[in-house]
Amino acid sequence: MSRAGTRQRPSGASQAQTQSRATQKSQRNRVEETEDEEEDGDTSMDVDDEENVPRDDDLVRKSNQLVRLALFAEHKRNPLRREEISKKVLGSNTRAFNQVLQLAQTTLQKTFGMELVELRSRAELGKDGVGGDEDLEEARKAVGVKKKAAAAGSKSYILRSILNPTIIEEAAQVSEKILEEEALEEDDNDDDDERSARSYGSLISWSHTDQIGSLGILYIILALILVSGRVLSDAELRAHMKKLRQPMSGSVKFDAHATHKSVSMEAYMNMIIRQGFVERVAVGDAKKGKGKRVRATQGDDDSGATYEWRWGNRAHSEVGEKAIAQFVAEFMVGEQEAEDDEEDGARARGRRRQDRAQNKVEKMAAGIERAAGGNLSDLK
Protein backbone atom coordinates (compact mmCIF):
# COMPACT_ATOMS: atom_id res chain seq x y z
CA MET A 1 0.00 0.00 0.00
CA SER A 2 2.85 2.31 0.83
CA ARG A 3 4.33 1.74 -2.67
CA ALA A 4 0.99 2.50 -4.27
CA GLY A 5 0.62 5.57 -2.12
CA THR A 6 4.03 6.76 -3.24
CA ARG A 7 2.86 6.71 -6.87
CA GLN A 8 -0.29 8.67 -6.10
CA ARG A 9 1.43 11.32 -3.91
CA PRO A 10 4.84 12.38 -5.33
CA SER A 11 7.29 13.92 -2.92
CA GLY A 12 7.86 17.70 -2.78
CA ALA A 13 11.36 17.37 -4.34
CA SER A 14 9.92 15.43 -7.27
CA GLN A 15 7.27 18.11 -7.90
CA ALA A 16 9.90 20.85 -7.87
CA GLN A 17 12.05 19.01 -10.43
CA THR A 18 9.03 18.51 -12.70
CA GLN A 19 8.07 22.22 -12.53
CA SER A 20 11.68 23.26 -13.20
CA ARG A 21 11.90 21.12 -16.33
CA ALA A 22 8.56 22.48 -17.57
CA THR A 23 9.69 26.07 -16.97
CA GLN A 24 12.97 25.53 -18.85
CA LYS A 25 11.12 23.96 -21.78
CA SER A 26 8.66 26.86 -21.89
CA GLN A 27 11.53 29.37 -21.89
CA ARG A 28 13.30 27.53 -24.71
CA ASN A 29 10.10 27.57 -26.77
CA ARG A 30 9.70 31.32 -26.22
CA VAL A 31 13.34 31.97 -27.22
CA GLU A 32 12.93 29.92 -30.40
CA GLU A 33 9.70 31.76 -31.26
CA THR A 34 11.43 35.12 -30.69
CA GLU A 35 14.32 34.12 -32.97
CA ASP A 36 11.89 33.00 -35.66
CA GLU A 37 10.06 36.33 -35.44
CA GLU A 38 13.34 38.26 -35.73
CA GLU A 39 14.35 36.26 -38.80
CA ASP A 40 10.95 36.82 -40.40
CA GLY A 41 11.19 40.53 -39.56
CA ASP A 42 14.07 40.98 -42.03
CA THR A 43 11.81 40.35 -45.01
CA SER A 44 8.35 41.36 -43.80
CA MET A 45 6.94 43.77 -41.24
CA ASP A 46 3.35 44.33 -40.26
CA VAL A 47 1.11 42.06 -42.32
CA ASP A 48 -1.53 44.71 -42.79
CA ASP A 49 0.68 47.72 -43.66
CA GLU A 50 4.13 46.49 -44.82
CA GLU A 51 3.46 43.17 -46.47
CA ASN A 52 5.96 42.13 -49.17
CA VAL A 53 8.17 45.19 -48.66
CA PRO A 54 11.41 44.58 -50.59
CA ARG A 55 14.85 44.84 -49.01
CA ASP A 56 17.37 47.57 -49.85
CA ASP A 57 19.07 45.58 -52.60
CA ASP A 58 15.67 44.88 -54.17
CA LEU A 59 14.84 48.60 -54.07
CA VAL A 60 18.09 49.48 -55.83
CA ARG A 61 17.54 46.83 -58.49
CA LYS A 62 13.98 48.02 -59.12
CA SER A 63 15.09 51.66 -59.24
CA ASN A 64 17.65 50.79 -61.92
CA GLN A 65 14.91 49.04 -63.87
CA LEU A 66 12.78 52.17 -63.60
CA VAL A 67 15.66 54.33 -64.90
CA ARG A 68 16.06 52.09 -67.96
CA LEU A 69 12.32 52.05 -68.57
CA ALA A 70 12.13 55.85 -68.32
CA LEU A 71 15.02 56.33 -70.77
CA PHE A 72 13.43 53.92 -73.22
CA ALA A 73 10.06 55.71 -73.02
CA GLU A 74 11.76 59.08 -73.51
CA HIS A 75 13.62 57.80 -76.57
CA LYS A 76 10.24 56.98 -78.10
CA ARG A 77 8.85 60.29 -76.75
CA ASN A 78 5.96 58.50 -75.08
CA PRO A 79 4.73 59.25 -71.54
CA LEU A 80 5.50 56.54 -68.98
CA ARG A 81 2.33 55.47 -67.18
CA ARG A 82 2.11 54.44 -63.53
CA GLU A 83 0.42 51.16 -64.43
CA GLU A 84 3.32 50.30 -66.76
CA ILE A 85 5.79 50.94 -63.92
CA SER A 86 3.80 48.68 -61.61
CA LYS A 87 3.62 45.93 -64.20
CA LYS A 88 7.22 45.97 -65.46
CA VAL A 89 9.12 47.10 -62.37
CA LEU A 90 7.24 46.77 -59.08
CA GLY A 91 5.27 43.59 -59.61
CA SER A 92 3.35 42.78 -56.44
CA ASN A 93 5.28 45.36 -54.37
CA THR A 94 3.23 48.36 -55.48
CA ARG A 95 3.56 49.98 -52.04
CA ALA A 96 7.27 50.51 -52.66
CA PHE A 97 6.57 52.94 -55.53
CA ASN A 98 7.65 56.09 -53.68
CA GLN A 99 10.90 54.51 -52.45
CA VAL A 100 11.78 53.16 -55.90
CA LEU A 101 10.91 56.50 -57.52
CA GLN A 102 13.11 58.42 -55.09
CA LEU A 103 16.12 56.18 -55.77
CA ALA A 104 15.53 56.39 -59.52
CA GLN A 105 15.34 60.19 -59.32
CA THR A 106 18.74 60.30 -57.61
CA THR A 107 20.31 58.22 -60.38
CA LEU A 108 18.67 60.25 -63.15
CA GLN A 109 19.71 63.57 -61.63
CA LYS A 110 23.32 62.69 -60.82
CA THR A 111 24.07 60.59 -63.92
CA PHE A 112 21.89 61.98 -66.70
CA GLY A 113 20.97 65.48 -65.52
CA MET A 114 17.27 64.65 -65.81
CA GLU A 115 14.27 63.99 -63.59
CA LEU A 116 10.95 62.20 -63.84
CA VAL A 117 8.05 64.66 -63.79
CA GLU A 118 4.40 63.72 -63.43
CA LEU A 119 2.23 65.31 -66.09
CA ARG A 120 -0.56 67.53 -64.81
CA SER A 121 -4.10 66.31 -65.26
CA ARG A 122 -6.63 68.15 -67.44
CA ALA A 123 -8.61 68.98 -64.31
CA GLU A 124 -5.60 70.65 -62.71
CA LEU A 125 -4.83 72.59 -65.89
CA GLY A 126 -8.43 73.78 -66.00
CA LYS A 127 -8.18 74.83 -62.35
CA ASP A 128 -5.23 77.08 -63.19
CA GLY A 129 -7.07 78.56 -66.17
CA VAL A 130 -4.80 77.11 -68.85
CA GLY A 131 -6.83 74.09 -69.88
CA GLY A 132 -9.43 75.85 -72.00
CA ASP A 133 -12.38 74.51 -69.95
CA GLU A 134 -14.05 77.85 -69.22
CA ASP A 135 -17.34 76.76 -70.85
CA LEU A 136 -17.49 73.70 -68.63
CA GLU A 137 -16.88 75.76 -65.49
CA GLU A 138 -19.56 78.28 -66.41
CA ALA A 139 -22.06 75.47 -67.07
CA ARG A 140 -21.36 73.97 -63.64
CA LYS A 141 -21.90 77.30 -61.94
CA ALA A 142 -25.17 77.84 -63.83
CA VAL A 143 -26.70 74.57 -62.65
CA GLY A 144 -25.16 74.74 -59.18
CA VAL A 145 -22.99 71.66 -59.57
CA LYS A 146 -20.02 71.64 -57.24
CA LYS A 147 -16.70 70.86 -58.82
CA LYS A 148 -14.75 68.00 -57.30
CA ALA A 149 -11.23 68.58 -56.06
CA ALA A 150 -8.92 68.48 -59.07
CA ALA A 151 -6.32 65.75 -59.09
CA ALA A 152 -2.93 67.34 -59.66
CA GLY A 153 -1.32 64.28 -61.22
CA SER A 154 -2.21 62.24 -64.27
CA LYS A 155 -0.16 59.18 -63.20
CA SER A 156 1.93 59.65 -66.35
CA TYR A 157 5.58 60.69 -66.29
CA ILE A 158 8.15 62.20 -68.65
CA LEU A 159 11.86 62.93 -68.38
CA ARG A 160 12.83 66.60 -68.13
CA SER A 161 16.28 68.19 -68.08
CA ILE A 162 17.47 69.80 -64.85
CA LEU A 163 20.52 71.47 -66.40
CA ASN A 164 20.84 75.16 -65.68
CA PRO A 165 19.61 77.18 -68.69
CA THR A 166 22.84 79.20 -68.56
CA ILE A 167 24.88 76.06 -69.18
CA ILE A 168 22.73 75.13 -72.18
CA GLU A 169 22.94 78.68 -73.55
CA GLU A 170 26.73 78.75 -73.30
CA ALA A 171 27.05 75.28 -74.83
CA ALA A 172 24.90 76.40 -77.76
CA GLN A 173 27.19 79.32 -78.64
CA VAL A 174 28.98 79.03 -81.98
CA SER A 175 32.75 78.58 -81.75
CA GLU A 176 35.06 79.26 -84.68
CA LYS A 177 37.45 76.54 -83.49
CA ILE A 178 34.70 73.91 -83.43
CA LEU A 179 33.52 75.03 -86.87
CA GLU A 180 37.02 74.55 -88.29
CA GLU A 181 37.35 71.07 -86.79
CA GLU A 182 33.94 70.04 -88.08
CA ALA A 183 34.82 71.41 -91.53
CA LEU A 184 37.95 69.22 -91.59
CA GLU A 185 35.86 66.20 -90.67
CA GLU A 186 33.45 66.96 -93.50
CA ASP A 187 36.36 67.13 -95.97
CA ASP A 188 37.45 63.65 -94.91
CA ASN A 189 33.94 62.34 -95.41
CA ASP A 190 33.26 61.49 -99.06
CA ASP A 191 29.59 60.70 -98.46
CA ASP A 192 27.50 62.79 -100.86
CA ASP A 193 24.23 62.08 -99.06
CA GLU A 194 22.28 65.34 -98.87
CA ARG A 195 20.89 64.24 -95.50
CA SER A 196 24.31 64.13 -93.85
CA ALA A 197 24.70 65.70 -90.41
CA ARG A 198 24.97 69.48 -90.40
CA SER A 199 27.76 71.35 -88.61
CA TYR A 200 26.67 73.88 -85.99
CA GLY A 201 30.02 74.82 -84.42
CA SER A 202 28.78 74.44 -80.82
CA LEU A 203 29.42 72.08 -77.92
CA ILE A 204 25.88 70.80 -78.30
CA SER A 205 25.65 68.62 -81.38
CA TRP A 206 22.19 69.50 -82.59
CA SER A 207 22.48 66.90 -85.34
CA HIS A 208 22.41 64.14 -82.70
CA THR A 209 19.52 65.53 -80.64
CA ASP A 210 15.82 65.89 -81.38
CA GLN A 211 14.90 66.60 -84.99
CA ILE A 212 15.42 70.36 -85.10
CA GLY A 213 13.10 70.97 -88.06
CA SER A 214 10.15 69.08 -86.61
CA LEU A 215 10.78 70.62 -83.19
CA GLY A 216 10.60 74.06 -84.76
CA ILE A 217 7.24 73.20 -86.34
CA LEU A 218 5.95 72.05 -82.95
CA TYR A 219 7.00 75.31 -81.28
CA ILE A 220 5.34 77.34 -84.04
CA ILE A 221 2.09 75.42 -83.57
CA LEU A 222 2.24 75.93 -79.80
CA ALA A 223 2.93 79.64 -80.34
CA LEU A 224 -0.02 80.03 -82.71
CA ILE A 225 -2.34 78.38 -80.19
CA LEU A 226 -1.01 80.51 -77.32
CA VAL A 227 -1.38 83.90 -79.03
CA SER A 228 -4.89 82.92 -80.21
CA GLY A 229 -6.20 82.81 -76.66
CA ARG A 230 -4.94 79.25 -75.94
CA VAL A 231 -7.53 77.82 -78.38
CA LEU A 232 -7.17 77.73 -82.17
CA SER A 233 -9.72 76.40 -84.63
CA ASP A 234 -8.65 73.71 -87.07
CA ALA A 235 -9.40 75.95 -90.05
CA GLU A 236 -7.31 78.81 -88.65
CA LEU A 237 -4.37 76.51 -87.93
CA ARG A 238 -4.43 75.17 -91.47
CA ALA A 239 -4.55 78.72 -92.85
CA HIS A 240 -1.60 79.83 -90.71
CA MET A 241 0.50 76.82 -91.66
CA LYS A 242 -0.24 77.41 -95.33
CA LYS A 243 1.01 80.99 -95.04
CA LEU A 244 4.19 79.65 -93.43
CA ARG A 245 4.65 77.34 -96.43
CA GLN A 246 4.03 74.25 -94.30
CA PRO A 247 0.53 73.19 -95.45
CA MET A 248 -1.25 70.20 -93.97
CA SER A 249 -0.99 68.53 -97.36
CA GLY A 250 2.81 68.80 -97.25
CA SER A 251 5.45 66.78 -95.40
CA VAL A 252 7.95 67.18 -92.55
CA LYS A 253 11.57 66.35 -93.37
CA PHE A 254 13.96 64.72 -90.92
CA ASP A 255 17.76 64.68 -90.78
CA ALA A 256 20.22 61.88 -91.50
CA HIS A 257 19.81 60.16 -88.14
CA ALA A 258 16.05 59.64 -88.45
CA THR A 259 14.50 56.32 -89.43
CA HIS A 260 12.46 57.96 -92.18
CA LYS A 261 13.43 60.82 -94.49
CA SER A 262 10.04 62.48 -94.08
CA VAL A 263 6.44 61.98 -92.95
CA SER A 264 3.24 63.63 -94.06
CA MET A 265 2.06 66.65 -92.09
CA GLU A 266 -1.08 64.76 -91.05
CA ALA A 267 1.05 61.91 -89.66
CA TYR A 268 3.22 64.44 -87.83
CA MET A 269 0.17 66.05 -86.21
CA ASN A 270 -1.05 62.63 -85.06
CA MET A 271 2.41 61.98 -83.61
CA ILE A 272 2.49 65.12 -81.45
CA ILE A 273 -1.06 64.34 -80.32
CA ARG A 274 0.08 60.88 -79.21
CA GLN A 275 3.09 62.35 -77.44
CA GLY A 276 0.83 64.73 -75.51
CA PHE A 277 2.04 68.09 -76.86
CA VAL A 278 -1.29 69.12 -78.41
CA GLU A 279 -4.93 68.06 -78.31
CA ARG A 280 -7.49 68.22 -81.11
CA VAL A 281 -10.93 68.57 -79.55
CA ALA A 282 -14.38 68.34 -81.10
CA VAL A 283 -16.03 71.68 -80.35
CA GLY A 284 -19.54 70.27 -79.92
CA ASP A 285 -18.39 67.68 -77.38
CA ALA A 286 -16.38 70.28 -75.49
CA LYS A 287 -19.47 72.48 -74.97
CA LYS A 288 -21.43 69.51 -73.65
CA GLY A 289 -18.96 69.10 -70.85
CA LYS A 290 -15.95 67.05 -71.89
CA GLY A 291 -13.82 67.59 -74.93
CA LYS A 292 -13.28 64.53 -77.05
CA ARG A 293 -9.72 64.11 -78.27
CA VAL A 294 -9.55 62.78 -81.80
CA ARG A 295 -6.98 62.02 -84.43
CA ALA A 296 -6.07 64.66 -86.99
CA THR A 297 -8.05 64.34 -90.22
CA GLN A 298 -8.52 66.30 -93.40
CA GLY A 299 -10.35 69.40 -92.20
CA ASP A 300 -13.69 69.36 -90.44
CA ASP A 301 -16.18 66.55 -90.87
CA ASP A 302 -18.72 66.55 -93.70
CA SER A 303 -21.42 66.47 -91.01
CA GLY A 304 -20.48 70.00 -90.00
CA ALA A 305 -18.54 69.16 -86.84
CA THR A 306 -15.68 71.55 -86.13
CA TYR A 307 -12.48 71.05 -84.17
CA GLU A 308 -10.06 73.18 -82.24
CA TRP A 309 -6.48 72.79 -81.05
CA ARG A 310 -5.18 73.22 -77.51
CA TRP A 311 -1.96 72.57 -75.66
CA GLY A 312 -1.51 69.05 -74.29
CA ASN A 313 -0.34 68.35 -70.75
CA ARG A 314 3.16 67.46 -71.93
CA ALA A 315 3.62 70.90 -73.47
CA HIS A 316 2.79 72.50 -70.11
CA SER A 317 5.30 70.28 -68.26
CA GLU A 318 8.13 70.20 -70.81
CA VAL A 319 7.96 73.54 -72.64
CA GLY A 320 5.82 76.01 -70.71
CA GLU A 321 3.86 79.05 -71.86
CA LYS A 322 6.48 81.51 -70.62
CA ALA A 323 9.21 79.78 -72.64
CA ILE A 324 7.14 79.88 -75.83
CA ALA A 325 6.35 83.55 -75.23
CA GLN A 326 10.06 84.24 -74.78
CA PHE A 327 10.82 82.27 -77.94
CA VAL A 328 8.37 84.33 -79.99
CA ALA A 329 9.44 87.64 -78.46
CA GLU A 330 13.16 87.03 -79.06
CA PHE A 331 12.47 85.93 -82.63
CA MET A 332 10.37 89.00 -83.41
CA VAL A 333 12.80 91.39 -81.73
CA GLY A 334 15.72 89.70 -83.47
CA GLU A 335 14.11 90.36 -86.84
CA GLN A 336 13.59 94.02 -85.91
CA GLU A 337 17.16 94.38 -84.62
CA ALA A 338 18.51 92.98 -87.89
CA GLU A 339 16.61 95.68 -89.79
CA ASP A 340 17.85 98.39 -87.40
CA ASP A 341 21.46 97.20 -87.79
CA GLU A 342 21.27 97.76 -91.53
CA GLU A 343 20.27 101.36 -90.90
CA ASP A 344 22.38 102.26 -87.86
CA GLY A 345 25.45 100.14 -88.52
CA ALA A 346 28.07 100.12 -85.75
CA ARG A 347 26.30 102.84 -83.73
CA ALA A 348 23.75 100.33 -82.49
CA ARG A 349 26.35 98.13 -80.81
CA GLY A 350 27.29 97.79 -77.16
CA ARG A 351 25.32 98.09 -73.97
CA ARG A 352 22.77 100.47 -75.39
CA ARG A 353 21.81 98.00 -78.07
CA GLN A 354 21.38 95.21 -75.51
CA ASP A 355 19.17 97.35 -73.27
CA ARG A 356 17.02 98.35 -76.22
CA ALA A 357 16.62 94.74 -77.30
CA GLN A 358 15.73 93.63 -73.77
CA ASN A 359 13.06 96.31 -73.47
CA LYS A 360 11.57 95.22 -76.75
CA VAL A 361 11.53 91.58 -75.65
CA GLU A 362 9.74 92.47 -72.42
CA LYS A 363 7.12 94.53 -74.24
CA MET A 364 6.61 91.79 -76.81
CA ALA A 365 6.21 89.15 -74.07
CA ALA A 366 3.63 91.36 -72.32
CA GLY A 367 1.69 91.61 -75.57
CA ILE A 368 1.74 87.83 -75.98
CA GLU A 369 0.42 87.45 -72.44
CA ARG A 370 -2.50 89.75 -73.23
CA ALA A 371 -3.19 87.83 -76.43
CA ALA A 372 -3.23 84.57 -74.46
CA GLY A 373 -5.97 85.96 -72.24
CA GLY A 374 -4.27 85.79 -68.86
CA ASN A 375 -1.14 85.12 -66.88
CA LEU A 376 1.27 82.73 -68.59
CA SER A 377 2.03 79.51 -66.76
CA ASP A 378 5.53 78.24 -66.08
CA LEU A 379 6.79 74.68 -65.84
CA LYS A 380 5.33 72.63 -62.99
Q: pLDDT (tens digit, 9 = 90+) per residue, 296-343?
A: 555 555 556 789 999 999 999 999 999 999 999 988 887 555 555 555
Q: Is residue 193 part of a domain?
A: no
Q: Is residue 195 part of a domain?
A: no
**In which domain, by residue range, is 340 found?**
321-380
Q: pLDDT (tens digit, 9 = 90+) per residue, 246-278?
A: 999 999 888 766 677 888 999 999 999 999 999
Q: pLDDT (tens digit, 9 = 90+) per residue, 22-55?
A: 555 555 555 455 555 444 544 443 434 444 555 7
CB 181 within 8 A of CB 203: no
- Rounded Cα distance between 355 and 334, Å, is 13
Q: Is residue 120 part of a domain?
A: yes
Q: Is residue 351 part of a domain?
A: yes
Q: Among 273, 293, 319, where does a domain finish?
A: 319
If asked whether residues 267 and 340 sit together in one domain, one would say: no
The verdict on pTM exceeding 0.75 is: no
For residues 141-168, average pLDDT: 72
If asked whether residues 297 and 327 sit together in one domain, one would say: no
Total domains in the fold of the chain? 3
Q: Is residue 229 part of a domain?
A: yes
If asked whether residues 149 and 81 sit together in one domain, one would say: yes
For residues 219-224, average pLDDT: 96
Q: Is residue 191 part of a domain?
A: no
If asked whether residues 325 and 362 sit together in one domain, one would say: yes
Nearest of 221, 209, 174 to residue 319 by alpha carbon:
221
Q: Among 319, 337, 367, where does a domain finish?
A: 319
If asked whether residues 302 and 338 sit together in one domain, one would say: no
CATH of the domain at 105: 1.10.10.1200
- Rounded Cα distance between 284 and 287, Å, is 5
- Rounded Cα distance between 219 and 70, Å, is 24
If asked whether residues 349 and 261 sit together in one domain, one would say: no
